[in-house]
Amino acid sequence: MSVLRALTDAISDRSVEVIDLTAPLSDTTPVIMLPEPFANTAGFALTEVSRYDERGPAWYWNDIVTGEHTGTHFDAPVHWLTGKDGEDVAQVPVTRLIAPAAVLDFSAQAAADPDFLLEVDHVRAWEAEHGPLPDGGWLLYRTGWDARSGDQAAFLNADAAGPHTPGLSISCAAWLAAEAPIIGLGVETVGTDAGAAHSFDPPFPGHAALLGAGKYGLTQLQNLARLPATGAVLIAGPLPITGGSGSPCRVLALTERGR
């Protein structure tokens, strides 16, 4: 049997499960909030064009307003200064949009400390148990933050000092960019860096290192708890926005039942 026929049969008989890692897009979808003097992006909104009425008697449709980095979305290298000569979102090779994924669960640590930072030693310890990170694949960083995604305040978790959400240490970001075989980092939080990463030196090390290395980001993922530590295949579908720095993205995972 062909590989593709075997795959569609397996999806049909549920021996391969399709899991949606995408947050619903609505006007309540959380959006990152940068402090003054920085500009902020648009939240998601619909503007009705017609709905079975005099504007269009038999059809319903909307215009959409969205930022490239609104909701579950894809960060292309050109999103960051360090990656400004890299790929825009339309230039990402389609073969990299279907790739294996490792899921590293630090939800207990993030529940105990919302400023929890992933370190190289954490990844090394995971590799000692599960094997190496997937070559050409994704590191999906589970923190439990998807449980907060229905509430902008809980999701951003900010106080007077700024947001408190889990992320990467500076050394871990550098290591993932330069040493790890992954093509990108996927997170459940509003961005691939910690909430406090604006105050790191250098700031936003995850964005700077990974995008500067030509790697990608995926944010605001859901349902990572339903994935195995290894063996899932990720399908990411950013829109091919010409010159775009990123895109809202449908992200699906395939998993094999019993594995």
- Which residue type does 16 have? V
- Residue nearest Mn ion (C-beta atom): 69
d(CA 33, CA 39): 9
Q: What are the angstrom distances between the C-alpha of 24 and each of 3, 73, 146, 158? A: 31, 11, 12, 23
Query: Applying CB under 5 A, does 69 fall inside the site for Mn ion?
Result: yes
User: What's the closest the beta carbon of residue 66 comes to Mn ion, in angstroms?
Assistant: 12
User: What's the closest the beta carbon of residue 27 comes to Mn ion, in angstroms?
Assistant: 19
Peptide bond before residue 202 is cis, with ω within 30 degrees of 0: yes
Residue 87 has, within 13 A of its CA and on its CB side, a CA count of 21
Q: 241 near 90, Cβ under 8 Å?
A: yes
Site track 72-111 with Mn ion (rule: CB under 5 A), x = hit: ---x------------------------------------
130 a catalytic residue: no
The catalytically annotated residue of 79, 122, 164, 207 is 79
Query: Applying CB under 5 A, does 142 fall inside the site for Mn ion?
Result: no
- Taking the least distance from each CB to Mn ion, the nearer of 169 and 192 is 192
Size of site (CB under 5 A) for Mn ion: 2
Q: Which residues are known to be catalytic?
A: 79
| Contacts with Mn ion, residue ranges (CB under 5 A) | 69, 75
